[in-house]
Amino acid sequence: MFFKSSKINEFRLWGLLLTMSGMGLMVLGTAGIVFWGQSGKVIAGIGLVIGLIAMMASMAIYFWAGMLSTSAVQLECPECHKLTKMLGKTDRCMFCKTILTLDPSQATITAEEIERQQTLGHSPETHTNVKKG
């Protein structure tokens, strides 16, 4: 993963970037006709085709992200106590970017231990483990 964000947020970011670049290419392609006349039509055609492919790819990513988020595990983050979603066994919290894991062998600290450290008197509802990093 390229950014320090949760997987669902990253999918949305890539979808957005692809949509923007696709739209940019289509605008540039259309501008090609205005600036270069007849010879610009070829550039416009290429720009429109690539732009359309990028837009379709971004739609596929959005759709995929939507499918993934339905299968994502919803839980309360032990760090910030907000409701977050995680994909797979290890993912970051959407809000505080803390690495959360469901695998006890990966964890360096458990939700129960955080509760004890913060001494909030808040009873743990999740069995989430937190990997510090």
**Interface ranges with Zn ion (CB under 5 A):** 77, 79-80, 93, 95-96
CB of 126 to Zn ion, least distance (A): 12
Buried b (16+ CB within 10 A) or exposed e, 27-58: ebbeebbeeeeeebeebbeebbebbeebbebb
Other beta carbons within 10 Å of 107: 19
- Shortest distance, position 83 Cβ to Zn ion, whole Å: 10
Residue 67 vs 80, nearer CB to Zn ion: 80
Q: Report the residue number, 10 or 79, with the smaller CB distance to Zn ion.
A: 79
CB 4 to Zn ion: min, Å: 13
